[in-house]
Amino acid sequence: MKFLHYILRNARRNPLRSVLTVASVSVCLFLMMILISFLSINDEVNDSVRIFNRIVTMSSQGFGQPVPIVRVSEIAALDGVIATTPFSWYGGKYNEEVMPFAQFGVDPKTIFTIYDELHLPADQLKAFQEDMTGCVIGKKLAGDRGLKVGDRLPLKDGAYPVNLDLTIRGIYDGPANRDLRMCMFNWGYLDESLKRDFGGRGSGNAGIVVIKCRNAEIMASLSKQIDKEYANSDTPTRTQTEEQFGKMFAEMIGDVRSFIGNVGLAVVFSLVCVAGNAMAMSMRERTTEVAVLKAIGFGKPLLLFFVLAEAVLVAGLGGVVGALGSKLFFDAFDVARYSAGFLPFFYVPWSTAILGLALSLAIGFLSGVVPAFRAAQLPVVTGLRKVV
Amino acid sequence: MKKGAKSMPNKLAIVLRGVSKEYRRDEIRIPVLFDLDLEVEEGEYLALMGPSGSGKTTLLNLIAGLDHPTAGEVCVRGQDITQLSDSELTRWRGNHIGFVFQLYNLIPVLTALENVELPLLLTSLSRQRRKENVRTALRIVGLEGREDHYPRQLSGGQEQRVAIARAFVTDPYLLVADEPTGDLDRSSAGEILELLVQLNREFQKTIVMVTHDPLAAQRASRILRLDKGQLVGDIAQSQLGAIL
């Protein structure tokens, strides 16, 4: 601790250089936190749904292929199943905005039993269940657009060739890491519209089926049972936990994941070079001082410590601003509302922010290694030669 | 600091026997000192004079344990420091040697007080005790009230005073000064030389000083002349008059 003030003074010795180093580390880490968070949010959300005992049945050909609606009631009748719902992606325009938020046809009677972490007032749930053209929207979507119960919500030009003229019957709320910008409407309304306006083509399909199980222990056996049941049908299924279903999406962007990883490594490398160069310059200017310190009794370990501590301090400050700053920034500022539906929510998980901070410390350490060893190895006489 | 402590008469502070030093630049050997013998008594104030390139600073570096001789032994207070490893030598310097450089070499980001405190950070003294010792040292060099000034806020003479305070604040056995007045005007140089005399007489510090300046050398108790890496004899104070 008695050397702390010396280290702090050295870090502030050339304020412009220190500020620029801190700025380069913090800006790069800020951007890196955004990239990493895209992946880590996905992982965190997938991990968090484990406790809800949900499994998802989709077509064995992929979720682009529909599952017959009859499967919803058939699966619901199986032992260990609490409730089931179809989950049909609509993806239509709202006014002239293309897919500004996620839209799903669901079963109003079971959806909030299955997604019991989402909360809808009882009177609004009743209204939703009783109105074929009713829908519920997330609290954030309502807030973004000033929508309220009773407002019309027309959707058009979606995945199905019918338009939906919906009325908001409820506004649901839930944890921060759930999609609170979703619109869920009665699947029956979509199906009736297809039958009425499109000759029934495309009707009778559930999209995927989401199943609430009695407990976690039966999820694996239930999944196997469902897939075995339909293995020899025209529409074989693939059933997996909700967590696995989410990870399947993550795997679809596997190349992006490795791309982001490589970009991250490149950023870390370039930051080590930038911070290392700044540190090396700083130490070159202090050659005589280092020699004086050695002359008056400061040993190699202490000099190593001084230089490494200074490098870690400067880069770490960049980490605090960049990594922790991004965490606080995205907690305070909801960027998802400006993402035109691309992001239902966005935040920097604590694990990612701490990773960023640890990275900045590692960058500082690595950037200080070479200058530190040079300083420690500097012969006193060589260092003093400039002045004696 | 032991003010006025009496040293044992004729006790040797520094003994050099057969000391040679050569530097290597690639394959080229550059001899600097040749088979040099020297004895300095405790409490002595020795000035080393000689032309540029005569080996004065090299000799000072060897005495202060900043460099190793190519041959011979260097004993300070009875210890052959050529046998010490680099880390042992660093520790030894911290405990026994005080340095005064021509360009003061203060740390610009530290105040006068913090600069003087620097060598004390290597000791186990408490913070309060360190501050007390530093204030005492600054008072001796006449810089009371300048504790919080940074080097850039001090004159050259004041900076050198801080450097001298830093050199003796640990109460070292030996003070080495390399051209301590080389960068100062005549008036400031006189004050610094007076301070060194005070440290030698009142605190019995053994001092070895390298200088080109006959006026500076005049304050020493003995003056040695080096030429082409060899000691060519004492210069009597009376001879300095001719040089001056």
Q: How many CB contacts within 8 angstroms connect chain A with chain B?
A: 68
Among B182, B178, B140, smallest CA distance to B162 is for: B140
pLDDT bracket for residue A341 (50, 70, 90) = low
How much is the pLDDT for A258? 81
Q: Do A12 and B66 touch (CB under 8 A)?
A: no
| Interface probe with B: pick from A380, A382, A386, most Cβ of B within 10 Å | A380
Q: Give percent of chain A above pLDDT 90.
A: 66
Res. A326: pLDDT tops 60: yes
Among B133, B99, B151, smallest CA distance to A294 is for: B99
Please tell me the distance in Å from B164's CA to the nearest CA on chain A.
Answer: 12
Q: B10 in a domain, yes or no? A: no
Span A310-320, pLDDT tens digits: 999 999 999 99
Span A264-286, pLDDT tens digits: 889 999 999 999 999 999 898 89
Q: What DSSP element (H or E) covers A315?
A: helix A300-319
Q: Do B121 and A2 touch (CB under 8 A)?
A: yes
Res. A162: pLDDT tops 50: yes
| Interface probe with A: pick from B23, B52, B99, B115, most Cβ of A within 10 Å | B99
Please tell me the distance in Å from A299's CA to the nearest CA on chain B.
Answer: 6
Q: Do A295 and B122 touch (CB under 8 A)?
A: no
Q: Do A296 and B95 touch (CB under 8 A)?
A: no
Mean pLDDT for A144-158 is: 92
Q: Do B109 and A299 touch (CB under 8 A)?
A: no
Residue A103 tokens, joined: 């839209």
Domain hosting residue B168, numbered range: 43-68+84-243
pTM of the predicted model, to two decimals?
A: 0.77
Please tell me the distance in Å from A7's CA to the nearest CA on chain B.
Answer: 10
- In whole numbers, what is the pLDDT of chain B averaged over residues? 90
Q: What are phi and psi of B189, to 5 degrees?
A: -60, -40
Mean pLDDT for A92-103 is: 84
How much is the pLDDT for A342? 67
How much is the pLDDT for A335? 82
Enter the DSSP assignment of B55.
S
Res. A254: pLDDT tops 80: no
Residue A319 tokens, joined: 């980490």
| Among the ranges given (A90-104, A231-245, B15-29), the one the predictor scored with the smallest mean pLDDT | A90-104
CA distance A388 to B163: 14
| Interface probe with A: pick from B33, B60, B122, most Cβ of A within 10 Å | B122
| Spans of chain B below 50 pLDDT | 2-9
Q: B235 in a domain, yes or no? A: yes
Please tell me the distance in Å from A283's CA to the nearest CA on chain B.
Answer: 13
Q: B164 in a domain, yes or no? A: yes
Assess contact for B177 and B100: CB atoms under 8 A: yes
Q: What are phi and psi of A208, to 5 degrees?
A: -125, 165
Res. A44: pLDDT tops 90: no
- The domain tally of chain B equals 1
pLDDT bracket for residue A50 (50, 70, 90) = confident
Of A2, A6, A288, the CB nearest to B105: A288
Q: Do A296 and B102 touch (CB under 8 A)?
A: no
Res. A355: pLDDT tops 60: yes
Tokens 């010490």 label which residue?
A: B84
- In whole numbers, what is the pLDDT of chain A averaged over residues? 90
Q: Do A289 and B107 touch (CB under 8 A)?
A: yes
Q: B233 in a domain, yes or no? A: yes
Q: B7 in a domain, yes or no? A: no
Of B102, B122, B179, the CB nearest to A297: B122
Q: Do B127 and A3 touch (CB under 8 A)?
A: no
Q: Do B66 and A384 touch (CB under 8 A)?
A: yes
Q: Considering only alpha carbons, which residue of chain B is nearest residue A302?
A: B122
Q: What are phi and psi of B227, to 5 degrees?
A: -150, 125
Q: Tell me, yes or no, if A385 comes closer than 8 A to chain B by beta carbon.
A: no
Q: Do A387 and B107 touch (CB under 8 A)?
A: no
CA distance A264 to A266: 5
Residue A238 tokens, joined: 């693939």
Please tell me the distance in Å from A381's CA to the nearest CA on chain B.
Answer: 6
Q: Give percent of chain B above pLDDT 70.
A: 92
Strand order through the sheet with B97-100 = B97-100, B174-178, B206-210, B45-49, B222-227, B230-234
Contact residues, chain B to chain A, C-beta under 8 Å: 57, 61, 64, 66-67, 86-87, 90-91, 93-95, 99, 101-103, 105, 107-110, 114, 118-119, 121-122, 127, 166, 178-179
How much is the pLDDT for B7? 42
Q: Considering only alpha carbons, which residue of chain B is nearest residue A385?
A: B57
A-chain CB neighbours of B66 within 8 Å are 295, 380-381, 384
Res. A388: pLDDT tops 60: no
Span A211-229, pLDDT tens digits: 999 999 999 999 999 999 9
